[in-house]
Each structure stands twice: as C-alpha cells, then as structure tokens.
C-alpha cells in the first residue's frame, strides 16, 4: 500500500522505509535507528536485485544467438 502513494521522492526512499521501520519497531521491537537502517538497507538491496535482473534480461534479449535460435535472419530481407 505504501508503494502506491503518490509521493515523489528520490529513488522512492521515504514512505516505503517509514512503513518498514514502523513495522520493525512495532512488531519486532527494534530501536528506531536500527529499524530505519534495516528498512533502508532492505530497500537498497531489493533495488540492486531488481536492476540486476533487468540487466540480465536486457543482455539476453540483445544477444545475437537468441534471434538465430528462433529462426530469424540477420540483415535486410
């Protein structure tokens, strides 16, 4: 729900971390500073993971052997 809020922030840092830190503090009983650090670190690591998967997919799509395997010809018709 927090990710759908129309709050413009840099790299979406803000509402996501606030909700995560609140959850870590309320349900897990972590100190506020540690909960904020944990939520921010989790968000950063998830972004690195997502961008890495996107880069791998882009490299897969752009590789020349994928088109050749599907029977496409290189060059003009």
Mean pLDDT for back-to-back runs of 10 residues, the chain (77 residues): 63 76 90 89 91 94 74 57
Comparing C-alpha atoms, which of 60, 53, 19 is closest to residue 36?
19
The two three-digit tokens of residue 19, written as one number: 């909700």
At residue 10, the pLDDT reads 64
What is the Cα–Cα distance from 18 to 71, expressed in whole angstroms? 50
Comparing C-alpha atoms, which of 64, 13, 71 is closest to residue 42?
13
At residue 17, the pLDDT reads 81
pTM of this structure: 0.61
Place of tokens 């890495």: 52
At residue 4, the pLDDT reads 64
Contact 21, 32 (CB under 8 A): yes
What is the Cα–Cα distance from 72 to 35, expressed in whole angstroms? 52
């Amino acid at each position: 729900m927090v990710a759908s809020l129309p709050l413009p922030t840099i790299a979406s840092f803000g509402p996501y971390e606030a909700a995560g830190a609140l959850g870590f503090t309320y349900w897990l009983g972590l100190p506020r500073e540690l909960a904020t650090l944990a939520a921010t670190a989790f968000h950063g690591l998830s972004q690195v993971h997502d961008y890495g998967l996107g880069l791998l997919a882009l490299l897969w799509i752009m590789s020349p052997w994928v088109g050749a395997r599907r029977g496409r010809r290189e060059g003009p018709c």
